Amino acid sequence: MPIEFAKYHGLGNDFILIDNRHSSEPAIAPEQAVDLCDRHFGIGADGVIFALPGQNDTDYTMRIFNSDGSEPEMCGNGIRCLAKFIADLEGSEAKTQYRIHTLAGVITPELRSDGQVKVDMGVPRLLAAEIPTTLAAPDAKVIDVPIEVADKSWSVTCVSMGNPHCITFVEDVAAVALESVGPMFEHNQAFPQRTNTEFIQVIRSDYVKMRVWERGAGVTLACGTGACAAVVAGVLVGKCDRATAVELPGGVLEIEWAEVSGRIYMTGPAQRVFTGCISH
């Protein structure tokens, strides 16, 4: 049977969205997702996202296959796109806020009247065992810890947003050889489940530039969970304010790490590009 899809992007981080409300299992296999994400022989995307029935009193369930066929716990730009996709599917019945079950827990995106999507990303996890990483004792935080990658010592801070992130601050983010260094971080033995890696240049305490190597997707134009993790790391090492704008190659995300609740809020755009039909 042909499968209808919609292509969305959040700051250039692009996804194929599939209406999967009829089944709790994704309509296509990871191997098919790899083919569809191919930018020359497929539709082209960083991942395929499925809108599945909700569970445990949530409105919907989100699952995502990366462009390499792996399945991440969550995706910040992806969940904004999913919220817009769901609202478009529901039409006049659409809500302004959804509770979405993910492998990283329940995430709540809110569609704002200005077209932006604000997402309650939950509380960051900071212990080494939660990330997971072997760079510190399981019950210790990983803040400004050295790691040897590509014959160089890097000072890194690690954060989990339900998925693993390794953040390092650099003088010039444009000078980082992301395509060669990124895979070395992702597959470093210190990260048993691999890791996303964010390279951050602080412009001001409330404004940073970021480039990212995403686990399972490589170089992307934006990473929502990565931007959240970067601001948490920046606060922990004394470089960032709790409300900081993160400039990515695809645009800017507004991130806030609330002091009282400890929750992270991400605000940014999500746009539909086109719709189509997959015959397979």
| Active site members | 75, 223
Nearest to 47, CA basis, from 60, 23, 30: 30
Q: What is the DSSP letter of 40?
A: T
CA distance 130 to 232: 15
Number of alpha carbons in the 13 Å side-chain half-sphere of residue 27: 22
Q: For residue 132, is the peptide bond before it cis, meaning its omega torsion is within 30 degrees of 0?
A: yes
Q: Are strands 164-169 and 196-204 parallel, antiparallel or unpaired?
A: parallel
| Residues sharing a CB contact under 8 Å with residue 255, sequence separation 6 or more, in sequence order | 227, 228, 230, 231, 243, 244, 245, 246, 264, 265, 266, 267
Residue partners of 113: CB distance under 8 A and separation at least 6: none
Distance CA 108, CA 147 (A): 35
Q: Look at residue 114 and give its three-state secondary structure.
A: coil
